[in-house]
Amino acid sequence: MAIKIHSVEQLPSDALRKLDPLADILRNRAFLEQLIEFPDLHKIARELDEVCLREGVIGYHYTRAEKESIERSGLLALSGDKRRQDFLERYGNRFTPEQRERILGKWKYFSPSSCATRDYRIWFNFTLDALKGSGAEDLLTYYGGEVVYFPICDDPEIGVVLKTIGQPMIVECDLNPADLTTFSEHAWGKIWLSSYHVTVNPDAHQHDVDAYLQSSVRPAQISSIQILEPPFRYRRIGSKR
């Protein structure tokens, strides 16, 4: 069963036994980087990571989209050009000819080099901490993901239309960590350790990472779609689809 590493509910009993005598260290440190300086905690993070690699992890994709489309087709790994083309084909009639011209002009922001780092990537986080600040605000406010909205949402006439398309949501997905690209060693174990850390020290910083998948997420991999209402702030994710 894929693991919700922002929670401690699935922590192995062996890990809990090893963590218990380290409570003073956890209470007196605020950041993960401080914890893994201790060999015992670094080892626990590696062991938790191995569990995640075996079992899979739950990832959270923040977006504004149409729920029915995701339920039907999943999350599709497409090029930015394809996403922008689809956007205009489906919603271009919501804009005046002058606004469509501005959209096309602003989309020139996406150079070949920037497209190479964005195309065919679906991004995930692994905690809900983005809802505690403004980290997911634009993703939930403007339709289409960054490859659509980023250069055009600041245009008042265009931005207001982007806010009316789709619904803000968190798509909860069952993922194989081996298929994910991130920028941190033992990322899954570190997040899981950090989630335990904040139960011992509520003032501690919850660690999370950005990771991307370069293949589509099938509908069967989607465990829930949670529709949000503004303001977009932390709440427990339910199981209702």
Q: What is the pLDDT of residue 231?
A: 77
217's tokens: 């997420």
The strands making up 57-65's β-sheet, listed across from edge to edge, are: 57-65, 167-175, 222-227
Q: Is residue 129 assigned to a domain?
A: yes
Count of domains forming the chain: 1
Residue 233 lies in a domain: no
Residue 233 has a pLDDT of: 66
Q: Label residues 77-88 b or e (16+ Cβ within 10 Å = b).
A: ebebeebbeebe
Task: Provide the whole-model pTM.
Answer: 0.93
Q: Residue 240: what pLDDT?
A: 33
- Does the residue 235 lie in any domain? no
User: What is the predicted pLDDT for the residue at 236?
Assistant: 45
The structure tokens listed for 224 are: 């829930």
Question: Going residue by residue through the chain (241 aa), what tens digit of pLDDT does each one get?
Answer: 899 999 999 999 999 999 999 999 999 999 999 999 999 999 999 999 999 999 999 999 999 999 999 999 999 999 999 999 999 999 999 999 999 999 999 999 998 888 888 899 999 999 999 998 778 999 999 999 999 999 999 999 999 999 999 999 999 999 999 999 999 999 999 999 999 999 999 999 999 999 999 999 999 999 999 999 887 765 544 433 3
What residue numbers bound the domain in which 60 lies? Answer: 13-227
Q: Is the CB of residue 26 less than 8 Å from the CB of residue 201?
A: yes
Q: Within a domain: residue 85?
A: yes
Backbone phi and psi for residue 92, each to the nearest 5 degrees, phi listed first: -60, -30
Q: Is residue 4 part of a domain?
A: no
Find out whether 179 and 213 touch, Cβ atoms under 8 Å. Answer: yes
In a domain? residue 241: no
Residue 212's DSSP bridge partners are 123, 181
